[in-house]
């Protein structure tokens, strides 16, 4: 009986749950592929890439938590009506979490099948994999790690949703779909100071990498990651705190045109958006680093490791770069589609007030451009600052490289790849958004 009711609720909200299923399946496939690469790298080449699955798990948790929160907002009024009809809150929570659990198990099975198939069909023939460990053992270990990471993320997100359902009153559930969660403007000065300090430390470490020698150089290379991460986090926290400040500043200049609507949409769920943008920015920086290091390892004129190991490591780094880039754009595309679904009521009101479809399409396109590029802003700025100094350092070590300005060439190649993927995802999201906008207006 309980399973029938859960399945009926899933069918009733088929459109939203289909979006949830596609997103989680894609993330599980990426996680499974990353685990396959990590396990193979530790077996074949003797190097560890455990940080890759861990980073993807963090992104997976944030995205799952975001889409679960979105689903809760979409279902909030129906859940409130169910409570008013007499269902116990504990039973309601159990049914709702059961729906998420059923969807999660299905996504895990499909995602692991897709990820393992991609590794078997695409990556292993390119690498011509031959290991002393059986193929079945490699896959079993990868799938077990994927399952552990995925169900940990599902458990943590489910616990958070359960606490929300337990604490929200019926009146709050009725308006939950329209609630905003901005960052308080009093945090603006704190995050601005954190950004200034961390950015200054990043520059000091970067100059040390370019000019230092011996032990000091080792300390700068090992320590630059911490101020870089702090700088990225502080930048996006201060940016969203500034948006929240503008929204509450009551300045007449921000009421003109679409500016107030822009601020309202930017500051909706600002805490989660700031954290997610910072994490995706870190993904982009890691992708650029992996691309540069991988291309250097694949250069026949660079001899840093034994021949076959260097080839394996170079190919693995390029694979990691592609995984990070796909994860970056897929996550942002999902969030843009979710935002458009969440804005359906506002768009209908704007259309009723006289906005034609062309103006709304133009507004959606600008919003897509902004959202796909926002996490890249700070990452590209840091890479632009770092590239000339690192290039200067490598030019000084000319004996290890055949060509000068290798880092600048690699930055140009990475920028071209990023722009190409940006264009592809922008066009895809724009087409989907216009179709959704058409259905919203005509409904």
Among the listed ranges 22-26, 174-178, 292-296, 424-428, which one has the minimum average pLDDT value?
174-178
pLDDT at residue 285 tops 70: yes
Chain length of the chain: 443
Among the listed ranges 111-120, 163-172, 225-234, which one has the minimum average pLDDT value?
163-172
Among the listed ranges 20-34, 63-77, 410-424, which one has the minimum average pLDDT value?
63-77
Percent of the chain residues topping a pLDDT of 70: 73
Among the listed ranges 65-69, 154-158, 374-378, which one has the minimum average pLDDT value?
65-69
* 73 CB-contact burial (10 Å; exposed 0-12 / middle 13-18 / buried 19+): middle
**In the structure, what pLDDT confidence band is assigned to residue 394 with cuts at 50, 70 and 90?**
confident
Provide the pLDDT for residue 257.
Answer: 59
Provide the pLDDT for residue 270.
Answer: 67
**In the structure, what pLDDT confidence band is assigned to residue 338 with cuts at 50, 70 and 90?**
confident
**In the structure, what pLDDT confidence band is assigned to residue 370 with cuts at 50, 70 and 90?**
confident
**In the structure, what pLDDT confidence band is assigned to residue 304 with cuts at 50, 70 and 90?**
low
Average confidence (pLDDT) over 386-409: 73
**In the structure, what pLDDT confidence band is assigned to residue 78 with cuts at 50, 70 and 90?**
confident
Supply the DSSP string of 159-170, one letter for each residue.
Answer: HHHHHHHHH--H
Q: Report the distance separating Cα 313 and Cα 32, nearest Å.
A: 19
Provide the pLDDT for residue 200.
Answer: 93
Dump pLDDT digits (tens) for 38-50: 776 666 555 545 5
Provide the pLDDT for residue 244.
Answer: 75
- Report how far apart, in Å, the C-alpha atoms of 205 and of each of 218, 234, 347, 387 are: 10, 18, 47, 14
pLDDT at residue 114 tops 70: yes
Highest averaged pLDDT of the listed ranges 25-34, 339-348, 392-401 = 25-34
Average confidence (pLDDT) over 272-298: 81
Supply the DSSP string of 303-335, one letter for each residue.
Answer: -SS-HHHHHHHHHHHHHHHHHHHHHHHHHHHHH
Supply the DSSP string of 109-148, one letter for each residue.
Answer: HHHHHHHHHHIIIIIHHHHT---SS-HHHHHHHHHHHHHH
Contact 65, 272 (CB under 8 A): yes
Provide the pLDDT for residue 199.
Answer: 93
Average confidence (pLDDT) over 202-225: 82
Q: Report the distance separating Cα 421 and Cα 407, nearest Å.
A: 21
Average confidence (pLDDT) over 183-204: 84
Q: Report the distance separating Cα 82 and Cα 180, nearest Å.
A: 24
Whether this prediction's pTM lies above 0.75 is answered by no
Cβ atoms within 10 Å of 210's Cβ, excluding its own: 18
Output 14 or 359, whichever has higher pLDDT: 359
Output 184 or 352, whichever has higher pLDDT: 352
Burial state string for 302-340 with b = 16 or more CB within 10 A and e = fewer than 16:
beeeeeeebbbbbbbbbbbbbbbbbbbbbbbbbbbbbbb
Average confidence (pLDDT) over 347-370: 79
DSSP state for residue 164 in the 8-state scheme: H
**What are the residues whose beta carbons fall under 8 Å from the beta carbon of 148, sequence distance 6 or more?**
none
- And the tokens for 156? 């943590």
- Report how far apart, in Å, the C-alpha atoms of 247 and of each of 75, 189, 254, 264, 375 are: 28, 16, 8, 7, 21
pLDDT at residue 259 tops 60: yes
Supply the DSSP string of 250-276, one letter for each residue.
Answer: --GGGGSTTHHHHHHHHTTTHHHHHHH
Task: Of 241, 228, 133, give the one whose Cα is nearest residue 188.
Answer: 241
Among the listed ranges 7-11, 33-37, 120-124, which one has the minimum average pLDDT value?
7-11
The residue with tokens 């502080």 is 234
Output 428 or 323, whichever has higher pLDDT: 428
Mean pLDDT, rounded, of the chain: 75
**In the structure, what pLDDT confidence band is assigned to residue 196 with cuts at 50, 70 and 90?**
very high
pLDDT at residue 237 tops 90: no
Highest averaged pLDDT of the listed ranges 103-107, 176-180, 230-234 = 230-234
The residue with tokens 């062309």 is 358
């Amino acid at each position: 009986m309980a399973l029938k009711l859960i399945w009926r609720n899933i069918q009733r909200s088929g459109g939203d749950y289909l979006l949830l299923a596609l997103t989680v399946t894609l993330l599980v496939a990426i996680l499974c592929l990353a685990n396959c690469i990590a396990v193979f790298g530790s077996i074949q080449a003797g190097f560890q890439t455990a940080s890759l699955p861990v980073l993807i798990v963090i992104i997976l948790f944030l995205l799952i938590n975001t889409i679960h929160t979105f689903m809760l907002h979409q279902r909030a009024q129906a859940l409130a009506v169910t409570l008013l009809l007499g269902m116990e809150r504990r039973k309601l929570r159990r049914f709702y979490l059961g729906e998420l659990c059923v969807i999660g198990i299905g996504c895990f099975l499909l995602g692991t099948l897709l990820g393992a198939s991609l590794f078997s069909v695409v990556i292993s023939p390119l690498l011509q994999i031959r290991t002393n460990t059986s193929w079945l053992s490699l896959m079993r270990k990868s799938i077990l790690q994927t399952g552990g990471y995925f169900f940990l993320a599902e458990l943590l997100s489910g616990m958070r949703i359960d606490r929300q359902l337990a604490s929200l009153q019926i009146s709050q559930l009725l308006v939950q779909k329209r609630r905003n969660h901005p960052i308080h403007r009093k945090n603006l000065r704190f995050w601005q100071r954190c950004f200034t300090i961390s950015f200054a430390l990043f520059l000091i470490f970067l100059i040390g990498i370019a000019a230092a020698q011996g032990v000091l150089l080792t300390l700068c290379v090992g320590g630059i990651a911490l101020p870089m991460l702090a700088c990225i986090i502080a930048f996006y926290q201060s940016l969203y705190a500034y948006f929240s400040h503008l929204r509450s500043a009551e300045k007449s200049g921000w009421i003109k045109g679409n500016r107030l609507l822009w601020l309202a949409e930017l500051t909706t769920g600002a805490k989660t958006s700031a954290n997610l943008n910072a994490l995706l920015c870190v993904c982009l920086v890691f992708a650029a680093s992996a691309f540069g290091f991988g291309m250097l390892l694949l250069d026949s004129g660079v001899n840093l490791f034994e021949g076959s190991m260097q080839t394996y490591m170079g190919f693995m780094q390029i694979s990691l770069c592609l995984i990070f880039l796909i994860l970056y754009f897929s996550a942002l595309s999902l969030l843009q589609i979710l935002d458009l679904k969440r804005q359906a009521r506002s768009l209908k009101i704007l259309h009723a007030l006289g906005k034609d479809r062309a103006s709304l399409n133009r507004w959606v396109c600008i919003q897509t451009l902004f959202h796909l590029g926002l996490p890249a802003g700070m990452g590209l700025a840091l890479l632009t600052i770092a590239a000339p100094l690192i290039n200067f350092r490598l030019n000084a070590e000319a004996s290890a490289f055949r060509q000068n300005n290798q880092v600048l060439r690699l930055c140009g190649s990475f920028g071209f790849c990023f722009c190409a993927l940006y264009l592809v995802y922008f066009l895809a999201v724009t087409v989907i958004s216009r179709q959704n906008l058409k259905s919203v207006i005509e409904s």
